[in-house]
Amino acid sequence: MRNTILTLSLLFIAFLQLPAQGIEFFHGSWEEALVKAQQEDKPIFVDAYASWCGPCKRMAAQVFPEAAVGEVFNANFISLKLDMEKPEAASFRANHPVRAYPTLFFLDAEGNTVHTVVGGQQVKGLINQAREALGKVDDLPRYVKKYEAGDRDPAFMTRYVRALVRQGEPHLRIANEYVRDQKGKLSEPDNLRFLLVAATDADSRIFDKLIEHKAAVTKLISQDAFDKQVALAFNKTKATAIELEAPKLLSDAAKKYKSIDPDAAATYQLEGEFQLAALGNEAKAYQKAAKKYFKSIPAKEGKMLTDLFQQLSGSRFVANDAKVEDLTAEVGLAAAEATDGYREYYLYAQWLNEVGRKKEAMDAAEKSKTLIPEEQPNTHRLVDFLIKKIQEA
């Protein structure tokens, strides 16, 4: 009996690990990842794993999906997963043998190993390892000396500012001074690369210069690299607006975003307004902002809907406001239908049961059970346990 309860408890914890904005792994070969790394001037992270490896599975389920991990890795690395026992890993394995799993490789853009970690890592540990690897890729103390000695070579300035960004050091003053001195030269290839690296905040002159040179940057580097940097910059500005509770900063950023991607800009502003409303004390304003944001999310965007459901169901308003509860139920159903996943239906059923919506809870739990793969009997038991709990309530 104790083992049964322990198994169900562990499964319940696993159910709570809904996908976050974690590491975006590159879908391609090792050779293609090298090309991409050289195009974007980024180091490479390789998760060298085996399909039978327990710690590998744990990291894939509980560490790589974490938003804090994704924030560091997506901005700084080309990330790749390789099953070292499959033919697709042969060319990488030839020069990077492993003795234990997982082995985590951090390599420069030329494919040279700069840092290696053997064994599973927790979130904080993996982030620390990434920071250590970036410190080895970027010789920041040497860059500082060169800069102070007057070196303003465009290629060097790109490396220097990239190192500052990677290490979380201030860089905008240095970047602005450099751009000011490059009158008539910003369209040169090295300066275009510099703009892409330095434009980390949408509320900045550097970012405006990047947008002015969009066509040249996308042609020289790639549309994907440009889009990712723009998204990172706008998200940073939104985070600042929320931290400072500054709606004007958010609306100004949204106006700028609209000139680049009108559809994305609308959702961006509504999400920010919802997050600002969550900081206030008005349930009516919170529900109104949440509903507007919900209506802006495409029906197939399961992750965005799931994130919104988690925020609503965990809010301080849901227990005391019927309209917030009704909206939460609507969003939860939309998220479950969009993902069509047993985990999402289970968590939706669990919340419905907690707030006393027994019939809806039973429907969601039974739907969850139909979606569970046959080779997961323990998961079936967990859902059966919830169904019994609903019936007994």
Asked if 148 and 117 sit in the same domain, the reply is: no
Distance CA 144, CA 314 (A): 46
If one counts the domains in the chain, the total is 2
Asked if 102 and 189 sit in the same domain, the reply is: no
Q: How far apart are the first and last CA of the chain?
A: 22
Name the pairing type of β-strands 78-83 and 44-49.
Answer: parallel
Please tell me the predicted confidence (pLDDT) of residue 15: 52
Token look-up 């996308």 returns 218
Q: Does residue 226 lie within any of the structural domains?
A: no
Please tell me the predicted confidence (pLDDT) of residue 226: 93
Strand partners of residue 82: 48
Please tell me the predicted confidence (pLDDT) of residue 2: 47
Q: Are 329 and 357 in contact (CB under 8 A)?
A: yes
Instruction: Please give the helix or strand (H or E) that residue 74 lies within, else none.
Output: helix 67-76
Q: Does residue 142 lie within any of the structural domains?
A: yes
Distance CA 300, CA 281 (A): 31
Distance CA 184, CA 166 (A): 28
Domain end (from 166, 198, 230): 198
Instruction: Return the closest-CA partner of residue 282 out of 242, 330, 320, 239.
Output: 320
Q: Does residue 145 lie within any of the structural domains?
A: yes
Domain end (from 89, 114, 137): 137
Asked if 89 and 162 sit in the same domain, the reply is: no
Asked if 110 and 40 sit in the same domain, the reply is: yes
Q: Does residue 217 lie within any of the structural domains?
A: no
Asked if 162 and 74 sit in the same domain, the reply is: no
Strand partners of residue 106: 45, 115
Asked if 34 and 110 sit in the same domain, the reply is: yes
The Cβ of residue 176 has, within 10 Å, a number of other Cβ atoms equal to 15
Please give the C-alpha separations between residue 304 and each of 61, 219, 231, 278, 337, in angstroms, as whole numbers. Answer: 19, 31, 15, 17, 13
Instruction: Return the closest-CA partner of residue 198 out of 214, 178, 183.
Output: 178
Please give the C-alpha separations between residue 276 and each of 77, 253, 293, 295, 319, in angstroms, as whole numbers. Answer: 31, 15, 12, 17, 20
Token look-up 């690299």 returns 225
- Structural domain harbouring 164: 138-198
Q: Does residue 351 lie within any of the structural domains?
A: no
E-only strand ranges, 73-232: 78-83, 103-107, 113-118
Instruction: Please give the helix or strand (H or E) that residue 67 lies within, else none.
Output: helix 67-76
Q: Does residue 393 lie within any of the structural domains?
A: no
Asked if 69 and 178 sit in the same domain, the reply is: no
Asked if 132 and 148 sit in the same domain, the reply is: no
Asked if 129 and 65 sit in the same domain, the reply is: yes
Asked if 145 and 116 sit in the same domain, the reply is: no
Domain end (from 168, 198, 228): 198
CA angle (301 as vertex; 292, 373 as ends), nearest 5: 135
Please tell me the predicted confidence (pLDDT) of residue 262: 92
Edge-first strand listing for the sheet containing 78-83: 78-83, 44-49, 103-107, 113-118
Tokens of 324: 């917030």
Tokens of 32: 């293609």
The Cβ of residue 133 has, within 10 Å, a number of other Cβ atoms equal to 26
Give the 3-state secondary structure of residue 44. strand
Please tell me the predicted confidence (pLDDT) of residue 102: 97
State pTM to two decimals.
Answer: 0.76
Q: Are 163 and 140 in contact (CB under 8 A)?
A: yes
Distance CA 300, CA 374 (A): 26
Mean per-residue pLDDT pooled into runs of 10, the chain (393 residues): 46 49 92 92 95 94 91 93 96 95 95 96 96 89 95 94 90 95 92 96 96 96 91 94 96 95 93 96 97 95 93 94 98 95 93 96 95 85 92 83
Q: Does residue 116 lie within any of the structural domains?
A: yes
Tokens of 260: 């680049």
CATH code (residue 88): 3.40.30.10
**Which amino acid is present at 254?**
A
Q: Are 369 and 383 in contact (CB under 8 A)?
A: yes
**Over 300-345, what HEC string results?**
CCHHHHHHHHHHHHCCCCCCCCHHHHHHHHHHHHHHHHHHCCHHHH
Give the 3-state secondary structure of residue 213. coil
Asked if 24 and 131 sit in the same domain, the reply is: yes
Asked if 150 and 108 sit in the same domain, the reply is: no
Q: Does residue 318 lie within any of the structural domains?
A: no
**Which amino acid is present at 134?**
L
Please tell me the predicted confidence (pLDDT) of residue 362: 96
Please tell me the predicted confidence (pLDDT) of residue 71: 87
